[in-house]
Chains A and B, each alone.
Chain A
Amino acid sequence: MSEQIFFKVTIDNITIEVPAGTTILQAARQIGGTVAPPAMCYYSKLQGSGGKCRTCLVEVAKGSEKDPRPMPKLVASCRTTVMDGMEVKNITSDKVIDARAGVVEFLLLNHPLDCPICDQAGECHLQDLSFDHGKSATRYEFQRRTFKKHDLGKNIQLHMTRCILCYRCVFTADQLTNKRVHGILDRGDHAEIATHIEKSLDNEFIGNVIDVCPVGALTDKTFRFKNRVWFLKPMDAHRDCPTCSGRVTLWNRGDEVYRVTARKDEWGEIEDTPEGKPGWICNTCRFDKKETSDWVIEGPRAISRQSVIAQGHYAGNVGMTKPTETFKAVNGGRTPHLLLDIHDESEVNQPQLHLGKIHGPSHGDTFNNKIENA
């Protein structure tokens, strides 16, 4: 095997050596932090992804050591490989910041901004992107594009109005399943994710399209409207799954499993398993294993402090040990006299109601004790 060539590249005045063939985006991610350009369509675990959303545009101030001319236009960093001695400006370039604000405005042109309803809110890349790089107002004055609702089967909910056409789910279906049944229909302004004709997505690995979707276009129907992600406790867990890695994040309320997702790294991408393969999870793990007893819980998942999910979330070295109750010990074995047990009065979070086990979204009847939940 020939010797690997390393290129020296400077991104935002930080120099790093990366192997030839690395993209600017990957090199920037190796530096980390705010140096890494945001990416909506690029997904390092999916071959061929990237180059569509233009959020990762960067300025190349110096092409390479041999040809030091700057590149005339901003380039998509996810598709541009580094050259030796290249100098890249990301957040240090006014042009990039301006262009990115424009891209965000374009991405949000037809986005319904129904974040209060959307289940992705709180872990949405488009939310983060528009918060970090967007402007607070839109100049768009026309009707937003709407679509006829498509049913993608019993587990996956499609909201086409929220889609930014990143093609990640198309690549996922191509690369993880043996037969892709959904794709982009029509073109231009009419382009939409759909199946032809009305098919449900039911491949064993198709659930991963929910995890790769950067917005709330594809969401988990078994979790639909159950709770907001920032009120749930993310827990690392695993199970011995014959089809997939079985390494997941459980999203719990109390001890109830509300949602199961794959583990995501700091770029919002699926984490690798210890064997170095992407940790895609199968539909059985994702949609059907909603009992705590199905899982071996490892402990609370570490969540970035910048994320809203980190509110009220303990992580780090707390492990699985619960703090000991001291009241009885210091009061001679007496239990505390409660003036009000909140469950006697409150209709929220009723102990006899197991929302995690209801398949679809809950309805008004669910909470009025009309449906018996064992």
Chain B
Amino acid sequence: MQPLTNKAQAVSRKPMTFLERLYLINIIKGMVITFSHMFKKQPTIHYPEQKREFSPVFRGLHVLNRDEEGKERCTACGLCAVACPAEAITMEAAERTEDELHLYREEKYAAKYEINMLRCIFCGLCEEACPKDAIYLSETFAPANYTRKGFIYGKPDLLIPNPKTEAAALAMAKGVEA
């Protein structure tokens, strides 16, 4: 068949010369390339000791926000759950009672709030949908786990530390030196 392009090259069956059979020149050529890399800038880092900075638009593990007084902002409106393309978010709403006024911002609150991290695709649409500034995607990964059970994140896993009672923990979570 007529070649369609001129890229095809016939394999050379010519026997190797003495110099070629020594392989020495080609070994040196290869080593030059290898050693030259020792003087180039390293693209990798030593991960656990060194950590890369996250990009400002990084979308990691979710947090549930509190207001300045430590009240939970989430009011279980369900907009994050309806926006979620992976259907990872579920919740149960409850009515705030008189003695829970200091715990929740609004009349209604999320009694249970769960994100299935196995389903979550970290698209950030929940953050966009939230009308109450209650859910944010932080700059952390969802840590690995041995069982699937460990990926159902409930409210204790997601809520940020209370700025009134656990100020030190909050500062640590934010990564600010206390």
Q: Chain A: residues with CB nearer than 8 A to chain B? A: 114-117, 121, 224-228, 230-231, 308, 311, 339-340, 342, 344-349, 355, 360-364, 366-367
Contacts and interface: CB of A to CB of B under 8 A. Distances in A.
B75 interface: yes
A349 B152 CA distance: 14
B166 interface: no
Contact of A231 (B78, B107, B154): B78
Interface string B74-104: 0111110110000000111111010010000
Contact of B148 (A339, A349, A355): A339
B114 interface: yes
A366 B109 CA distance: 13
A319 to B, nearest CB: 25
A364 B111 contact: yes
Nearest to B103: A364
Contacts of A346: 90, 114, 116, 152
B71 interface: no
Contacts of B149: 340, 344-345
A340 B78 contact: no
Contacts of A227: 78, 93
Interface of B: 75-79, 81-82, 90-95, 97, 100, 106-108, 111-112, 114, 116, 131-132, 147-149, 152, 154
A367 B94 contact: yes
A173 B82 CA distance: 36
B82 A349 contact: no
B95 A348 contact: no
B52 to A, nearest CB: 32
A305 B148 CA distance: 36
A362 B114 contact: no
A116 B90 contact: no
B111 A117 contact: no
Given A117-B106, A367-B92, 17 more contacts: A114-B107, A115-B131, A117-B77, A121-B77, A225-B108, A228-B82, A230-B78, A231-B78, A340-B147, A340-B148, A345-B152, A347-B92, A347-B112, A348-B91, A348-B112, A364-B97, A366-B94
B94 A348 contact: no
B74 to A, nearest CB: 9
Contacts, number: 85
A228 B77 contact: yes
B92 A348 contact: yes
Query: Which 4 pairs show the lowest CB-CB distances between chains A and B?
Result: A116-B77, A228-B78, A361-B95, A340-B148
26 contacts: A115-B131, A116-B79, A116-B106, A116-B132, A117-B108, A225-B95, A225-B108, A227-B78, A228-B78, A228-B81, A230-B82, A231-B78, A308-B82, A340-B148, A346-B116, A347-B112, A348-B90, A348-B92, A348-B114, A361-B95, A362-B92, A363-B97, A363-B111, A364-B94, A367-B111, A367-B112
A248 to B, nearest CB: 23
Nearest to A363: B94
Contacts of A117: 75, 77, 106-108
Tell which of A115, A117, A344, A349 has the most Cβ of chain B within 10 Å.
Answer: A117
Nearest to B95: A361
Nearest to A121: B77
A154 to B, nearest CB: 15
A227 to B, nearest CB: 7
A362 B90 contact: no
A227 B110 CA distance: 11
Contacts of A231: 78, 81-82
B82 A362 contact: no
Contacts of B154: 347
A126 to B, nearest CB: 16
A225 B77 CA distance: 9
A345 B151 CA distance: 10
